[in-house]
Amino acid sequence: MARAGGFTTLIGQRWAMLFLLIELVFFSFLGGGFFTMNGFQIVLFYSTTLALLATAETFVIVTGGIDLSVGFVMGFASVVSAKLAVRFDSLGLAPELSILFAVLVTLAIGLLPGFVNGVLVARLKVPPFLATFAVQGITYGTSLIITQGSAAINVPNLANVIGNSYFIHLVPGRGIWFFTRPEAARGADVIDIIPTMVVVTVLVIAVASFLLKRTRFGRHTYAIGGNIDAALRAGINTRRHLVVIYVLSSLFATLSGIIYMLEYVSGKADAGSSFMLDSVVAVVIGGASLFGGVGTIWRTILGVLILSVLEMGLKMMGVQTFDKYIAVGIILIFAVLIDQFFPEMIHKED
Amino acid sequence: MKRSLVLVLAVALAALMAMPLFAGGSQEAGKKSVTIAFMPGVADPFYYTMEKGIRAKAKALGVNIVVGDYPDSWGPEKQVPNLQALMAKGGIDLLLIAPTSNQALVAPLKAISDKGIPVITVDTYLGDGDYSKPSAYSFPLAYIGTDNKLGGKQVAEHLAKLIGEKGKVYVVNTNPDASSVIDRGNGFKEGIAEFPNITLVGMDYCMDNQQKAMELTTAALQKNPDLAGIFGVNVFSAQGSAQAVKNAGLAGAVKIASWDATQTLIDALKGGDIDLVLAQLPGQIGSLGVDAGYKYLTAKTAPQKKIIPGFQFFTKDNVNDPAMQQYIYSK
Amino acid sequence: MGDKALAMKGGREKASVFSVLARNWSFFFLVLTVVIFSFTGKNFFALNNFQSIIHLATTALLLACAETFVIITGGVDLSVGFVLGLSAVASASTMQLLYAAHWSAPASVLVGIVVGIAASLACGLVAGVMIARFKVPPFIATLGTMGIAIGVSYHICGGFPIGYLPPGLTDIGNMYVLYVHPASGAWSFFARPASIAANQIKELVRIAPISFILIFVFLLLLWHLLKNTRFGQHTYAIGGSMDASVRAGINTRRHLILIYVLSTFLAGLAGIVDLFQSGTGNFTTFGAQLELFAIAAVIIGGASLMGGKGRILASAVGVLLLKVLENGLNLSGVQPFYRYIAVGLILIVAVVIDQLFPDLF
Amino acid sequence: MGYVLEVRNITKRFGGLVAVNDVSMGVQAGEVVGLLGDNGAGKSTLIKVISGVYKADAGKILFMDKEVQIDSPMDALAMGIETIYQDLALAENLNTPANIFLGREKMKKALGFLNVLDHAYMQKESSKILEKLDILIPSLRNRIRALSGGQRQAVAISRSIYWDAKFLIMDEPTAALGVAEQKKVISTINLLKSHGIGIIVISHQMHDIFQVADRMIIMRRGEKVAELVTKNTNADEVVSLIVGAETVTK
């Protein structure tokens, strides 16, 4: 296949990676402070939310659906975990236990919106766009009622210690610390390496990627997205599978909400609202099709990195606030255009 | 071929990621004058005006100013990444910031402060805003901002006078998540409580959406046709409620107090659509911030922990007063 | 497959009462909510309350109309909310500029409107070309133009609502068609009777805000366009089967471009209406979610995101249902936060009904 | 001579692949020609060239003895070459008259100035054409979605006939139909034949082809390998030609 034009085809297939590389080079020259270890860590640290939500979205989009509720499920989880942590704390539990229990209970509660989504989509055949849109409203309303609209605060400070810690702390000339930041004089030169939440996110994504790529569950997910009738005839329990997919999506969103709570020591109903569309965009930039059957976690993460590097890079360059929307808009269209043109070149030949 | 390209890209990526490890630390060289960073809370007229004040003062003192990316909506998840991007530029000696959450911003600001960059919070604060006694959030040098509660209270007093100290009043607030407007609302409540013949019939949140404010006020007027006064806690809520009152044919009959002296509100005041505008002094807040920061950096004089510039009231009587014009917000 | 189809057909003939109910459930639901809120809501059942609900729903109605056309073709337009803001900001800043340059008020307003609409049409054209020519999924193409609309409108206004506009905008935008003064028997069109002083305005009965004329004209026009014209028929056909439409000789590319241009035209018009009603050029804030509200209303009206069905008047009922719900819950003293849950639940009911009776619509 | 439609030396390549290689054939008025071949034999490509979806790399098309240029499906339709695809290309959300008139709606003046769709006219004409083809559809108001496979097929055929098809290409007309419905389609094809329309039928159902076709053209690997008169051949011969056991030139 593809003897002539092999190189362009290759670029067409790998354009996302190439694009990321171009971004990295571009901002290394023009983004103030981008080309430093700190700069890269910041980009990674603030792409964790998007990465988790986009991972959730990848599963759903591969089945041919869409989950509009992830952003507000994330907010819901942040609010619930924060409120629970405060509650457990006020009951006199040790901060470690309060947070642990809050996290565990939230993970359980976080399955609920996904379950509702799944039942609506799989059993009642409600279009995913609508089912998840409705659930978005319900979770948002519930979080607002829980918090009376304001942020859920007064979370034990331990959350902050966990959420903003780094894997390694290096003090030149004094030694190396893991997880806890050494007490150092103000202004001392502590080098922080690898934020813990980034490690957590990478682990979660690795598991997700394994699930989608290497397991039967993953195979079935693609099968359903490719042709749900064929999947059904092949003996896949598509209803149950779809319910599990939406529950999984909700679970990733919940995790993201918990990380938000740990990082910001508070919960906020609309914490994830602005990431909702971005998460779909990242998946699409990663080459997935909204019609289902195509997409991988790894390429989604590439999409996430393209977006966050672009956003942080532009910020560090000092580009005017709202120009970034224009940039993202144009790149988005550009991304899909490339995806539209290159497969055509390939398909026409067979 | 595919495989090899992936490999090349991966190696290039890895090399690129690793390089900063060796390249770090060369930022500081060659810097002479003082650089102050400003991280606004959200893209709105108030902070643009503050930036103007900051830049004016900085120019006078010969200070460099770097301004962070204006967050497009209110909240730490929007502001903190912008803050980190701003700080990553390096070479910053002092930070002026309007924290968008009194708790979520404690950790990131503490880390910045620990790196030896002093922090001054403007307009909004950490914790309860009291940095004078030791606490987890007492590290900033100072808080400079309007006393929103006092402002709300004074608005209540002014509005009470306008409506003859009796009747029903209503508040259109913006966002239950922003400490500044919540303080305004609470201050207003306290102020109104001192007038036994005035009742507060409700407080709604328009989420910074003028159309929404209009709908809410229309509904409030429907519930209470004899409403005597309305307090719109910022530009959008005041404009929306003014229009709703006008639509209901109650212009003049319902007195409207508002907050933040944007040109639009001043025009509305001139046109008789609203009756009172409280002008904060964002420019002055910014300028005081730069001043305090500069003195701290150059002369090591610590500023007061709390600096509260006053505010001004625009009414029909003084709106054309040339001395008042400086308080109108502008970019 | 044949058996199932036959069974459904049989069902249609038998269950005509059900079909009328299911087909128009949103309308009956609207009537039901009005009845309930008339008991629970303070001053809910009042002429001026209904008038202001519809008056303040003008922009939402226009956006829902826009979305109806797009959704019938099987697409979705995420940009409408921010195109509304772009149009308001672009036209307001033009008016401000020209008025400051001593143009007459009508001239600057007119040019401002043209500029605002032109800016909106540009967005629709870009999205339409992307979708029709380059087969970009509508979700992505309109998300792209949405980003561009946000960026451009903030460039124009810098985050400030735009004031300094020619006077009288809000007087026009919020004017009533008929004013009656029951006490004196005086009445007049479009302005309060000359014999009535400004402070007596509360005693006036004002009938039909001017926005009613606009809504009425546009609903009628768009209803006609969709129901009775070739354009409308082709819109349904494209949503039903793109393939069939192409083979039937419909210029689907041009048609789709027109659909997205029409959509942003209506969004742009909504921006102008907003400008006239509020008197300031407001950009769209991020929490507004106007586009999602419009899509929800259209779906409640019985349209399907798969395309091929949807009705203008039903979409209008969808908007009114959501607005009445909001207003009624407010007047009944329900906390605003419960509104989100109520809307979510109603949506689910809507779609489940739609799924239970798929061929009745 | 006397062909409604004739193709001469058609060749169509996709990159290095020759999908149709130097194929010539013709169909007379009132004649049904069966086009047979295994998957990938080039049948679909050939009819797509005729219906204007693809443009041939070489060769020419004659319609009513005149050389014609068919650059798009529109050109083919304008000449009276109609194609009924396997998926029927109907808008399932619309009713029968709307589909028959799709793209060529009849308009009328309402209130003297408004150009509106003439629903009554389209409905009347639709029932006329259905009657003419002896097709029964319970209610013309029903959406296509509510019709059976055979009824849909009938609607698609009626559409072509209403618009004066002189030449009809039918791609797998009997696939996915019940036995009774298959019979109905066969009788409809025979009816069309008696109206003097030239027809190409592509089908895997050998049985059906033998029932309706006057002649058969067999393709393999892009080439025409045989042209047979139905009554002079049998299923075994045809099958062996399709799979390539022997090559007969006649």
pLDDT at residue B161 above 90? yes
**pLDDT mean over D182-208:** 87
pLDDT at residue B172 above 70? yes
CA distance A251 to A246: 8
User: In the predicted model, what is the mean pLDDT of chain C?
Assistant: 87
Q: What is the pLDDT of residues C162-176, one digit of tens each?
A: 877 888 888 898 888
In a domain, C35, yes or no: no
Q: What is the pLDDT of residue C134?
A: 85
Q: What is the pLDDT of residue A321?
A: 67
pLDDT band at A185 (very low <50, low <70, confident <90, very high): low
pLDDT at residue C2 above 70? no
Q: Where are the alpha helices (DSSP H) in chain B?
A: 2-23, 45-61, 76-88, 106-114, 148-162, 179-193, 210-223, 235-247, 263-270, 282-299
Which residues in chain C are closer than 8 Å to A326, comparing Cβ atoms? 147-148, 150-152
User: In the predicted model, what is the mean pLDDT of chain A?
Assistant: 86
**pLDDT mean over C97-118:** 95
In a domain, B6, yes or no: no
Q: What is the pLDDT of residues B64-120, one digit of tens each?
A: 999 998 888 888 888 999 999 899 888 899 999 999 988 889 889 988 998 889 999
Q: What is the pLDDT of residue A9?
A: 60
Q: What is the pLDDT of residues A19-37, one digit of tens each?
A: 888 888 888 888 777 888 8
Q: What share of chain B is helix, strand, coil (3-state, %, to 5)?
A: 45, 15, 35
- Are B248 and C282 in contact (CB < 8 Å)? no
pLDDT at residue B7 above 80? no
Query: Which strand ranges, in their side-by-side order, compose the sheet holding A166-171?
Result: A175-178, A166-171, A191-195
pLDDT at residue D1 above 60? no
Q: Clarify whether residues B127 and B189 are in a common domain.
A: no
Q: What is the pLDDT of residues C42-64, one digit of tens each?
A: 889 998 899 999 999 999 999 99
For chain A, which residues make up each domain, given as ranges?
6-347
User: In the predicted model, what is the mean pLDDT of chain D?
Assistant: 86
Collapsed DSSP state (helix, strand, coil) of residue D50 = helix
Best probe of the C interface among B247, B254, B265, B277, by most C CBs < 10 A, is B247
pLDDT at residue D223 above 60? yes
pLDDT band at A186 (very low <50, low <70, confident <90, very high): low
In a domain, C194, yes or no: no
Q: What is the pLDDT of residue C204?
A: 81
Q: Which of A111-115, B47-51, D163-167 has the highest mean pLDDT?
A: A111-115
Residue B246: closest C-alpha in chain C: C174
Q: What is the pLDDT of residues D95-131, one digit of tens each?
A: 899 998 888 888 888 777 788 889 899 999 999 988 8
- Are D94 and C236 in contact (CB < 8 Å)? yes
Nearest by CB: A157 against B27, B136, B176: B136
In a domain, C31, yes or no: no
Provide the percentage of residues in chain D whose pLDDT is more than 90: 26
Nearest by CB: C143 against A127, A281, A337: A281
Q: Clarify whether residues B271 and B162 are in a common domain.
A: yes
Kindly list the partner chains of chain C, i.e. chains with 3 or more CB atom pairs below 8 Å: A, B, D
pLDDT at residue B30 above 70? no
Best probe of the C interface among B218, B266, B329, by most C CBs < 10 A, is B218
- Tell me the C-alpha to C-alpha distance, in Å, between residue A174 and each of A182, B102, B114, B117: 10, 34, 17, 22
**pLDDT mean over B4-23:** 51
pLDDT at residue B3 above 60? no
Is D149 in the C-facing interface, judged by CB distances under 8 Å?
Answer: yes
Q: How many domains, chain B?
A: 2
Domain D1-80+165-250 architecture: 3-Layer(aba) Sandwich (3.40)
For chain D, which residues make up each domain, given as ranges?
1-80+165-250, 94-162
Q: What is the pLDDT of residues B119-138, one digit of tens each?
A: 999 998 998 888 998 888 89
Which residues in chain A are closer than 8 Å to C361, comparing Cβ atoms? none
- Are A324 and C343 in contact (CB < 8 Å)? no
Residue C310: closest C-alpha in chain D: D93
Nearest by CB: D148 against C5, C230, C240: C5
Is A234 in the C-facing interface, judged by CB distances under 8 Å?
Answer: no
To the nearest whole angstrom, how far is the Cα of C174 from the nearest Cα of chain B? 6
Provide the percentage of residues in chain A whose pLDDT is more than 70: 91
- Tell me the C-alpha to C-alpha distance, in Å, between residue C160 and each of B43, B165, B207, B330: 9, 34, 16, 9
- Are C163 and B267 in contact (CB < 8 Å)? yes
Could you tell me if A278 and A78 are in contact, meaning their C-beta atoms sit under 8 angstroms apart? Answer: no
- Bridge partners of residue B144, in order along the sequence: B122, B307
Choose the weakest-confidence range: A172-181, C308-317, D108-117: A172-181
Structure tokens at D218: 């067999």
Choose the weakest-confidence range: A97-101, A195-199, C204-208, D245-249: D245-249
Nearest by CB: C245 against D87, D91, D110: D91
Structure tokens at B193: 């409580």
In a domain, C340, yes or no: yes
Q: What is the pLDDT of residues A44-69, one digit of tens each?
A: 998 999 999 999 999 999 999 999 99
Q: What is the pLDDT of residue A28?
A: 87
pLDDT at residue B268 above 90? no
Q: How many domains, chain C?
A: 1
Q: Clarify whether residues B114 and B58 are in a common domain.
A: yes
Could you tell me if A289 and A271 are in contact, meaning their C-beta atoms sit under 8 angstroms apart? Answer: no
pLDDT band at B20 (very low <50, low <70, confident <90, very high): very low
Q: What is the pLDDT of residue D207?
A: 84
- Are C348 and A131 in contact (CB < 8 Å)? yes
Q: What is the pLDDT of residue D247?
A: 52
| CATH code, C341 | 1.10.3470
Q: Clarify whether residues B60 and B162 are in a common domain.
A: no
**pLDDT mean over D228-244:** 87
Which residues in chain B are closer than 8 Å to A18, comparing Cβ atoms? 9
Q: Clarify whether residues B46 and B93 are in a common domain.
A: yes
Nearest by CB: B249 against C44, C49, C206: C206
In a domain, C197, yes or no: no
Q: Which of C229, C304, C234, C246 is nearest to C76 (CA)?
A: C304
Is D14 in the A-facing interface, judged by CB distances under 8 Å?
Answer: yes
B180: containing domain: 148-279
Q: Clarify whether residues B133 and B76 are in a common domain.
A: yes
**pLDDT mean over B229-240:** 91
CA distance A98 to A158: 10
Collapsed DSSP state (helix, strand, coil) of residue A13 = helix
Is C193 in the B-facing interface, judged by CB distances under 8 Å?
Answer: no
Q: Clarify whether residues B267 and B304 are in a common domain.
A: no
What residues contact residue A171 under an 8 Å CB cut-off, 6+ apart?
A: A177, A182, A184, A188, A189, A190, A191
In a domain, C228, yes or no: yes
Return the beta strands (E) in chain A as ranges: 166-171, 175-178, 191-195
**pLDDT mean over A176-205:** 81
Q: What is the pLDDT of residue A192?
A: 82
User: In the predicted model, what is the mean pLDDT of chain B?
Assistant: 86
C114: containing domain: 45-174+211-356
To the nearest whole angstrom, how far is the Cα of D186 from the nearest Cα of chain A? 30
